[in-house]
């Protein structure tokens, strides 16, 4: 399937791939939803594609057998991390500016108020499991870069090449397109620049058949997996390859506790995807959980975070709407999601005792 990479946007379980929604009909931007209530246990992922469904199926096996929310979210996150067709997480994640895949992940166990994370981790396909070991086998919360890799190897994790041929092809095309001043791409005499033609015109589809014509901008994409088990304990994971083509060493929000993920066993959990810089500045996941603590539903709390972020920019005279998606669950079995600055409607896969379904949340502040 041709995958068009010509616009900045989210990577949902394989560029351009995804199941049709089986949830609510699409709602216009600004529509507010009532809270969704279900029986426990509950597990959700922000991935609403086939891999997200498989992740929820496997997480559910654990929860239905009386297992913990912590084990369930790890299993679900691992399913998405190893998917070689998903360009946003783990294996096949889109790389940084140098073509190196650097992964970020975090985990929280509400039952013990514990957290762990890794950042800029290379060559390990399941960073969320490494984050779990940081949480459970050290007195620290966060390990980064070569230290995180050493730590993972000491526990027997194998180093693998995470940059798949497809992801490399996409990165190479980005490198050729990211400036009209540099020397990447076909020689000038073959691409028509000497004749004053559009430099891009001489660049065609890559050998793998991807539709890579046009410019290739940065892409967001991450997964959040959140669960409440039958005992009422809450856990969550956020895992990502981060912003594509990021500056070498850049760390996003996903491994920052309170930004890309937060869990409070007496309330629920929240996770974020999208422009990490804004999620870090706003401590968005912590904010969402605190809003739920004050009585807001997960859906309302996700929307509150959007209003808070947009409001902060407006307070300093800026009309800026970052592309971000939030998902949240609470201990009562309610869930919600919302995004801003993005076309369409945000969705997530939800597994409850009643069903495995795709839920569509609300879209606020659509793209300009």
> Site residues (CB under 6 A) for ligand ASP?
88, 220-222, 240, 242-243, 252-254, 273-274, 276
Query: What is the closest distance, in whole angstroms, from the C-beta atom of residue 82 to ligand ASP in the complex?
Result: 18
Of 68 and 102, CB closest to ligand ASP: 102
Of 127 and 221, CB closest to ligand ASP: 221
Query: What is the closest distance, in whole angstroms, from the C-beta atom of residue 246 to ligand ASP in the complex?
Result: 7
Of 78 and 120, CB closest to ligand ASP: 120
Contacts of 315 (CB under 8 A, 6+ apart): none
Q: Look at residue 128 and give its three-state secondary structure.
A: helix
Residues 224, 273 contacting (CB under 8 angstroms): yes
CA 306 centroid distance within chain: 17
Q: Which helix (H) or strand (E) element contains residue 276?
A: helix 276-282
Q: How many CA atoms lie within 13 A of 278 on its CB side?
A: 23
Torsion angle of C-alpha atoms 36, 37, 39, 43, degrees rounded to 10: 30
Which of 222, 240, 349, 362 is the catalytic position?
222
Query: What is the closest distance, in whole angstroms, from the C-beta atom of residue 260 to ligand ASP in the complex?
Result: 6
Query: What is the closest distance, in whole angstroms, from the C-beta atom of residue 275 to ligand ASP in the complex?
Result: 6
Q: Report d(CA 6, CA 11) in Å as an integer.
A: 12
Q: Which helix (H) or strand (E) element contains residue 57?
A: helix 50-64
Of 59 and 88, CB closest to ligand ASP: 88
Of 88 and 297, CB closest to ligand ASP: 88
| 222 catalytic per annotation | yes
Query: What is the closest distance, in whole angstroms, from the C-beta atom of residue 219 to ligand ASP in the complex?
Result: 7
Of 253 and 357, CB closest to ligand ASP: 253
Classify each residue of 90-124 as buried b or exposed e, where b means 16 or more C-beta atoms within 10 Å of its C-beta.
Answer: bbbbbbbeeeebbbbbbbbbbbeebbbbbbbbbbb
Query: What is the closest distance, in whole angstroms, from the C-beta atom of residue 272 to ligand ASP in the complex?
Result: 6
Residues 243, 250 contacting (CB under 8 angstroms): yes
Q: Report d(CA 7, CA 161) in Å as an integer.
A: 27
Token pair 């991935």: residue: 47
Catalytic residues: 222
């Amino acid at each position: 399937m041709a995958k068009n990479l010509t616009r900045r946007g989210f990577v949902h379980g394989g560029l351009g791939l995804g199941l049709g929604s089986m949830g609510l009909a699409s709602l216009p931007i600004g529509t507010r939803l009532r809270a969704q209530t279900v029986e426990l246990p509950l597990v959700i992922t922000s991935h609403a594609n086939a891999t997200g469904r498989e992740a929820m199926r496997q997480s559910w096996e654990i929860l239905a057998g009386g297992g913990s929310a912590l084990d369930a979210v790890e299993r679900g996150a691992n399913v998405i991390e190893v998917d070689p067709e998903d360009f946003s997480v783990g294996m096949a994640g889109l790389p940084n500016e140098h073509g190196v895949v650097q992964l970020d992940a975090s985990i929280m166990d509400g039952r013990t108020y514990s957290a762990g994370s890794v950042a800029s981790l290379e060559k390990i396909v399941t960073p969320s499991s490494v984050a779990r070991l940081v949480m459970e086998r050290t007195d620290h919360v966060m390990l980064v870069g070569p230290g995180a890799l050493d730590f993972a190897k000491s526990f027997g994790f194998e180093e693998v090449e995470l940059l798949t041929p497809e992801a490399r092809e996409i990165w190479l095309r980005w490198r050729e397109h990211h400036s009209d001043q540099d020397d990447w791409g076909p020689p000038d005499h073959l691409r028509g620049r000497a004749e004053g033609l559009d430099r891009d015109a001489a660049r065609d589809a890559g050998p793998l058949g991807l539709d890579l014509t046009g410019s290739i901008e940065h892409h967001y994409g991450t997964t959040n997996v959140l669960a409440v088990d039958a005992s009422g304990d809450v856990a969550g994971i956020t895992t990502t390859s981060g912003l594509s083509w990021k500056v070498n060493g850049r760390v996003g929000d996903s491994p920052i506790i309170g930004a890309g993920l937060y869990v409070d066993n007496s309330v629920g959990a929240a996770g974020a995807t999208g422009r990490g810089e804004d999620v870090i500045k706003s401590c968005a996941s912590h904010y969402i959980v605190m809003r739920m603590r004050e009585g807001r539903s997960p859906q309302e709390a996700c929307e509150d975070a959007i209003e808070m972020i947009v409001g902060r920019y407006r307070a300093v005279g800026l009309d800026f709407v970052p592309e971000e998606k939030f998902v949240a669950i609470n201990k009562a079995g309610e869930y919600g999601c919302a995004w801003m600055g993005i076309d369409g409607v945000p969705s997530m896969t939800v597994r409850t005792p009643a069903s495995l379904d795709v839920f569509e949340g609300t879209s606020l502040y659509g793209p300009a």
